[in-house]
Structure 1
Amino acid sequence: MSSLDLIIILFYFAMLIGVGVYSSKKIDNEADYLVAGKRLGYGLYIPAMTAVVLGGASTFGSTKLGYQYGISGLWLVGMIGLGILGMGIFFSKKLSKLSIFSVSELLGNRFGNSSRYISGIIMAVYDIMVAVTAVVAIGVMFTALFGWNSATAVLVGGLIVVFYTMIGGMWAVTLTDVIQFWIMFVGLIGVLLPLGIYHAGGITELTNQVTPEFLSITNIGGKAIFAYFLLYFFGMMIGQDIWQRAFTAKNEKILRKGTIYAGILCIIYGIAGAVIGMVASVVVPGLSDPQQALPQLVIAILPTGLIGLLVAAVSSAVMSTASGTIMASSTIIVNDFILFKSKKKRTEKQKINLTRMVTFLVGCIAIFIALVLQDIIVALDVAYALLSGSIFIPVIAALFWKKVSARVTLISMAISAIVIVSDLIIEGVSSLNAIIWGIAASAIVMGVGTLFERKKTIVTEGLNKEL
């Protein structure tokens, strides 16, 4: 990498820190810090919502799958996009009317404190583990860029994200995500994709050089497509980092249309990533590690200066996920545990300072876990299974089902969690059945429990009339 490339990358990191300092001056109250004052228009909301879900896993994952399976590699990010679309279509009207800061707060208001605490713990752990995966990815990039050892790279990269997130809150996360969105889309779709197709000999030559299976949208297999549906479609619709970004919209129209547009952009990004991976299979064939498809293609075809832009683009994807999930986890801890349980009266400034302190601590925890934990996938799989399997149905009930009771919902969450953990123990942490059984158990318990309580109420009312 040339000096010009390094200058571009360092300028980008310095800009992120500067945005954090600038954003701190726009914060007057807790709503400003947690949800950017609920006043974002399309210009900020759409790129910010898109960037928070398109992380390193989406970028590297789609190009890796494209390298292995061709165009069908789009399904990983495609399902993320469909989940965002689903939230925009089905949840936007309800979400725009809620005066809350978290998913757990919704469940608490509707079903009681126990539901709030249980869902809060699951959501906070999940977001921390997603942040850990992003911090690890940042460390990997810094190691490659600067030749540092992995510990130093994780520490420095993680602290950059923690600093601008802690100082500027959701305003900083929003503004940096907007910057990161444009760098991602310009770098990957505007630069790398067309140059890659050109180096492969054009679209016609590219399709001639790959096997026919690479042009099939189902080449990756039905099982993999269904797995991505289970993992991402439901999780995207109820993730705290996604909802917290939704709460920044100025009104229902922006929330609905902006979220739908963001989902469409995610699908476009997934298609582009799969095509880039397919291009890499032609330009740099025979890689032992398909995850190297993106960086190896960048090195193979881009000139000085553009390499720096593409590294900044990949950094953008990773950092947007890290900042959003750190912010989401700290919001739950402060909003659903500390402030909710505390009887102490706090001013807006004290609430902001408290949230900043917790954000810093959450970020440090994520960095520490990234430094010491070898296999983060295990913890992430468990957290994701619990999130989708035991919380999705209660959230649906809280938004759309008025007749379900708090007791039935709590029992539903507890039983589904037991079913999920039991399946993971029996079949292993990579089992997709855990989510299926968890959702099924939650729905059955909620349906049967509600029916039983209704019959019990009818019987009781009948006895009272006779008396």
Structure 2
Amino acid sequence: MNLLDTGIVLLYFAVLITVGIIGSKRAKTSEEYALAGRNLGLFMYLGCMAAVILGGASTIGTAKLGYQYGISGLWFVTMIGLGVVILGLFMIGPISKSKVTTISEFLGKKYNSQTRLISAAVSTIYTLMVAVTQVIGLGTIINAVLGWDLTVSMLVGGGIVLFYTILGGMWSVTMTDIIQFIIMTVGIFFVMLPLSVSKAGGWSTLVDQLPAKYWDLANLGWAQIFQYFLLYCLGLVVGQDIWQRIFTARTDKIARQGTVFAGIYSVAYAIAISLIGMSAIIILPKIGNPQNVFAELSLQILPPGMLGLVLASVCSALMSTASGTLLASSTLLTNDILKPFFWRDAGERKMVVISRLMTFLLGGLAIVFAVWIQDILVALDIAYAILSGAIFVPVILGFFWKRASVKAGLYSIVISTLVVVTGLAIEGITSTNPIMYGIAASLIVMVTLSYLLPNKKEFIEE
């Protein structure tokens, strides 16, 4: 990469660091640190929601799937978009009425403190693993572009995200997300997509030269598509990183509209990245590692200046999700484990300090895991398998089934988590079965124990 493109990417990193410093001056209370004061308008909310759901796995992973399976690769991110649309249409009202900061806090109010603790632990693992995928993606891009060692690349990329997230919390994340949303929209839809199709010979060449299977929406296989539904559609509905963005909206109307629009945007993004991957089949027919297809295609087709912009857009997608999920992890740990069980009487200033410390520790852990795992889709599958299999049923029944009882919620999460983890260990992390086992176990335990051990308390609204 030439000096101009390198300069653009490094300038972008410098802007993010500066924004982190500015954001630190606004995050004076724990609510401002975690939720940006619950005061975002529609455009800022839409940008933040789209930025957090479309990360490194969405960009690099979908390009890889497009290269391998054609247009069918869109199902991965389309299921994410579907989950977000369902959340926006049906869940915004109940979530807002619960008046909570985290999904675990809701479960604690609906069931009991033990349920809050266990669900916080499970959700923290999920959000941390999603952050890990973004650090892996950052490392992949920096490694391919600058030629740095992959481990060093992960340390640098993850370190920048960690820096601005620690300083300003959700205020820094919000400001950087708006920048990132604009850059990734321009970079993907207006630069990378048209140039990729053009370099492949145009739309007619793409249609004529690619085998028919690459235009088959089912080429990925219905079993894999169903797995994406279980993992990402159901998982997004109960993801703390997504809920935390909902709490930043100024009104329920803004949250509902922004969430639905972000879901629709995700589907368009899925189509665009899949077509980019398909163009690479013609331009780079013998690529070594399909996971690097987006980065290598960028280096192959983009002129100076444009290359730096597109790579900054990919880094934008990665960093926005990394910062959002990292903040979600620290919020769960601080709000649902440390504060109620260890620092019940801590003041606002102390809780902000604790939140920053937890962000630092979890960010360091995410970087370590990224260096260890080094495969985006593997890390993401683990995260969503645990979330969908263990948390989805108690949350949905907690909202919409009045008979759901305290002990049923607690034991449902415990048993289904064990079922999912055991299933993944026995059948492998690519198997769909452990998720279905977990959902089935969760549903059976919830229904059975809700009748055998009915509630002794009602849902508490503050």
| Normalised-by-shorter TM-score class | over 0.9
CA contact (8 A) 1:420 1:435 kept: yes
Query: Post-superposition shift, 1:419?
Result: 2.5
Separation (CA, whole Å) in 2 of partners of 1:215 and 1:369 = 36
Give the match for residue 278 of structure 1: 278
* Alignment-derived partner of residue 368 in structure 2: 368
| AA in 2 matched with 1:317 | A
Separation in 2 of the partners of 1:425 and 1:368?
21
Find the aligned partners of 2:68 and 2:58 in 1 and give their Cα distance.
15
Quickly say closer, same or farther: Cα 1:136–1:426, change in 2 above 3 A: closer
Following the alignment from structure 1 to structure 2, what is the Cα–Cα distance between the partners of residues 149 and 179?
28
Work out the CA distance in 1 between the residues paired with 2:153 and 2:422: 37
Report the counterpart of residue 156 of structure 2 in structure 1: 156
Q: Give the equivalent residue in structure 2 for 1:60.
A: 60
TM-score with structure 1 setting the length: 0.93
Question: 1:80 is matched with which residue?
Answer: 80
Equivalent in the alignment of 2:201: 201
Matched, 1:146 2:143: no
Q: Which runs of 5+ in 2 are unaligned?
A: 457-462
Corresponding position of 2:460: none
Give the distance between the partners of 1:223 and 1:373, measured in 2 at CA.
Answer: 25
Post-superposition offset of 1:350: 1.9
Counterpart Cα distance in 2 of 1:97 and 1:107: 14
- Counterpart residue type for residue 69 of structure 1: Y
Say whether residues 1:40 and 2:33 are aligned partners: no
User: Aligned pair in 2 of structure 1 residues 257, 128: CA closer, same or farther (>3 Å)?
Assistant: same
TM-score normalized by the length of structure 2: 0.94
**Partner residue of 2:439?**
439
Equivalent residue number for residue 394 of structure 1: 394
Report the Cα offset of residue 411 of structure 1: 2.1
Deviation at residue 202 of structure 1 after TM alignment: 2.2
**1:129/1:376 contact within 8 Å kept:** no
Counterpart of 2:255 in structure 1 is 255
Could you say which residue in structure 2 is the equivalent of 1:292? Answer: 292
Q: 1:157 to 1:425 in 2, by over 3 A?
A: closer
The amino acid across from 1:265 in the alignment is Y
Match of 2:27 in 1: 27
Partner Cα distance (1:379, 1:273) in 2: 20
Kindly report which structure 2 residues correspond to 1:91-102, keeping only aligned pairs within 5 A, or say none.
Answer: 91-102=91-102
How far apart in 2 are the matches of 1:2 and 1:337?
48
The offset of 1:431, in angstroms, is: 1.9
Q: CA RMSD in A?
A: 1.9
Amino acid at match of 2:418: I
Q: How many residues align?
A: 456
Native 8 Å contact 1:281 1:293 kept in 2: no
Q: Judge conservation of contact 1:38–1:249 (CA < 8 Å) in 2.
A: yes
Query: CA separation in 1, counterparts of 2:183 and 2:448?
Result: 50
For residue 377 of structure 1, report the CA deviation from its aligned partner. 6.7
- 2:17 and 2:210 map into 1 onto residues whose CA distance is 43
Matching of residues 407-418 of structure 1 within 5 Å: 407-418=407-418
Aligned 8 A contact 2:83 2:263 in 1: yes
- Cα distance, 1:327 vs structure 2: 0.3
Identify the residue that residue 129 of structure 1 maps to in structure 2: 129
Shift of 1:28: 3.1
Q: Distance in 2 between matches of 1:50 and 1:445?
A: 35
- How many percent of aligned residue pairs carry the same amino acid? 48
1:210 is aligned to 210
Q: CA deviation at 1:380?
A: 5.3
Separation in structure 1 between the aligned mates of residue 208 and residue 37 of structure 2, nearest angstrom = 52
Larger Rg: 1
Distance between the aligned counterparts of 1:16 and 1:376, measured in 2? 23
Q: Within 5 A, what are the aligned runs for 1:327-338?
A: 327-338=327-338
Amino acid across the alignment from 1:111:
Y
User: What residue number does 2:384 align with?
Assistant: 384
Alignment of structure 1 residues 317-336 onto 2, 5 Å: 317-336=317-336
Shift of 1:57: 0.8
Residues 215 and 382 (structure 1 numbering): CA distance in 2 closer, same or farther, change over 3 Å?
Answer: closer
- 1:257-279: CA deviation from partner (whole Å, max 9, x where unpaired): 11000000001000101111111
Q: Give the Cα separation in 1 of the matches to 2:129 and 2:221.
A: 28
What is the CA distance between 1:83 and its match in structure 2? 0.8
Contact 1:409–1:446, Cα closer than 8 Å, also in 2: yes
SS at 1:97's partner residue? helix
Structure 1 residues without counterparts, runs of 5 or longer: 458-467
Q: Aligned AA for 1:64?
A: K
Paired with 1:212 and 1:155, the residues of 2 have a C-alpha distance of 42
Match of 2:184 in 1: 184
AA aligned opposite 1:66: G
Contact 1:234/1:388, CA 8 A, preserved across alignment: yes
Contact 2:385/2:420, CA 8 A, preserved across alignment = yes
SS of alignment partner, residue 274 of structure 1: helix
Match of 2:9 in 1: 9
Distance in 2 of aligned mates of 1:17 and 1:257:
31
CA spacing shift, 1:199–1:23, aligned 2, 3 Å: same
Structure 2 counterpart of 1:354, one-letter code = I
C-alpha distance 64-370 of structure 1, shift in aligned 2 (>3 A): closer
CA contact (8 A) 1:122 1:383 kept: no
Deviation at 1:353, TM superposition (A): 1.6
Residue 47 of structure 1 deviates from its aligned partner by: 1.1
For 1:80-102, what per-residue CA distance to the aligned partner results, in whole angstroms no more than 9, with x for missing partners? Answer: 11111111111111112232111
- Quote how far apart the aligned CAs of 1:237 are: 0.7
Deviation at 1:146, TM superposition (A): 3.3
Deviations 1:226-246 (A, max 9, x none): 111111111111111111111
Q: CA deviation at 1:284?
A: 2.1
1:411-461, Cα deviation, whole Å (9 max, x unpaired):
22222223223323332332211111111111122122223346x99xxxx
Q: Is the contact made by 2:231 and 2:381 (CA closer than 8 Å) also made in structure 1?
A: no
Q: Which moved more, 1:37-46 or 1:282-291?
A: 282-291
